[in-house]
């Protein structure tokens, strides 16, 4: 059912051409949000924007930009805000899953995983928090897509996981800082397996896999919620609790 919960609000989405980010944008558009979308691929952004307009967003703007190359200066953030007359919410959704085995052998690949998932995402988060504190105070929201891979280092994807763990701590720290000194709400969404092209090489199916549409609903709800850490879907909180608590001799026998 359509509702207008986001009418009159502006949202900046970084990495907007990803499947999860687009699903979030659709959910926000159908609730009346104005959107500014950033990703590398301009023509894809235009196609996504046309769709979001039909779905109900009164204003969608796009900016083709390499988020890892670009420096998140105040001027750049201001020009993005000017495209839709301001935003009070920002979602950092650019990421790179990469290949764990390759990251262990190839330093350049490991560096790319850390650069995209931690360095770039983290610097954008800090810049956005500074801006939103100035423009919206405690009413602003800065959010980032994290991963359950960051909750415990495991053989299958610990370089990616380490970068996402760093991002989660940074977002948690921003949330703490805002609580003490005023500033935007900060939230990290720790997602489990999502059926997207990024995970095309993994065997799929089973109850642990979620669709982008399902996690988008969790994210949109979480943007307006109180938690600084939101698992998507919810059951990952408990799955990861168990995995974190597994003693080293036990996890040493499980290939996950």
Partner 1 sequence: MALSFHSQVVEPWGRTPRLPHQVARPLHRDQLPGLIGEAAGGGGLLAAGLHRSYGDSGLNPDGLMISMRGVDRFIAFDPASGVLRAEAGVSLDEILRMATPHGWFLPTTPGTRFVTLGGAIANDVHGKNHHRAGSFGRHVRRIGLLRSDAGALELSPQERPELFHATLGGLGLTGLIAWAEIALAPIPSTFVDEETVPFANLAEYFLLSAESDPRFEHVSSWIDCTASGTALGRGVMYRANWSAAGGLAPHAPRQKLQVPITAPPGLMNKLSLRAFNAAYGGMQRMRRGTARKHYGGAFYPLDAIGGWNRFYGPAGFYQHQFMAPLAAQKDAMTEALRTLVAAGQGSFLAVLKSLGPLRSGGLVSFEGPGASLALDFPNRGEATLKLLERLDSIVVAAGGKIYPAKDGRMSAATFRAGYPRWRELEALRDPLFSSRFWRRVTHDQ
Q: How far is the C-alpha of 146 from the C-alpha of 143, rounded, in Å?
A: 9
Contacts of 67 (CB under 8 A, 6+ apart): 14, 15, 38, 39, 40, 94, 120, 124
DSSP state of 150: G
Q: Which of 37, 48, 148, 210 binds partner 1 (CB under 8 A)?
A: 48
Indicate whether 51 belongs to the interface with partner 1 (CB under 8 A).
yes
Of 8, 43, 182, 225, the one binding partner 1 by CB under 8 A: 43
Q: Are 14 and 124 in contact (CB under 8 A)?
A: yes
Q: How far is the CB of 100 from partner 1 (least distance, A)?
A: 19
Q: How far is the CB of 194 from partner 1 (least distance, A)?
A: 13
In degrees and rounded to multiples of 5, residue 14 shows phi and psi of -100, 130
Contact flag: residue 93 with partner 1 (CB under 8 A): no
What residues numbered 182-211 form the site for partner 1, per CB under 8 A? 197, 200-201
Whether the CB-CB separation of 158 and 100 falls below 8 Å is answered with yes
Residue 42 touches partner 1, criterion: CB under 8 A? no
Would you say 53 or 244 has its CB closer to partner 1? 53
Which residue of the set 6, 87, 118, 160 is catalytic? 160
231 is catalytic: no
Catalytic residues: 160
């Amino acid at each position: 059912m359509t509702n207008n919960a986001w009418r009159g609000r502006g949202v900046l989405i970084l990495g907007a051409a990803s499947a999860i980010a687009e699903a979030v944008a659709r959910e926000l558009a159908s609730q009346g949000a104005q959107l500014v979308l950033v990703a590398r691929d301009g023509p894809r952004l235009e196609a996504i924007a046309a769709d979001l307009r039909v779905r109900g967003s009164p204003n969608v703007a796009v900016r083709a930009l390499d988020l890892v190359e670009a420096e998140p200066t105040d001027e750049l953030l201001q020009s993005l805000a000017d495209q839709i007359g301001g935003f009070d919410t920002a979602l950092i959704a650019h990421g790179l899953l990469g290949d764990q085995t390759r990251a262990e052998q190839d330093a350049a690949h490991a560096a790319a995983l850390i650069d995209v998932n931690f360095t770039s995402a983290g610097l954008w988060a800090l810049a956005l928090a500074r801006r939103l504190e100035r423009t919206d105070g405690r009413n602003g929201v800065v959010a980032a897509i994290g991963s359950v891979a960051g909750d415990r280092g495991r053989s299958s994807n610990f370089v990616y996981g380490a970068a996402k763990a760093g991002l989660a701590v940074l977002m948690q720290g921003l949330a703490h800082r805002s609580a003490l000194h005023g500033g935007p709400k900060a939230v990290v969404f720790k997602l489990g397996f999502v059926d997207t092209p990024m995970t095309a090489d993994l065997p799929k199916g089973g109850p642990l896999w979620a669709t982008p549409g399902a996690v988008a609903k969790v994210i949109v709800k979480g943007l307006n919620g109180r938690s600084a850490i939101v698992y998507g879907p919810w059951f990952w909180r408990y799955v990861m609790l168990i995995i974190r608590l597994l003693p080293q001799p036990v996890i040493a026998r499980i290939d996950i």
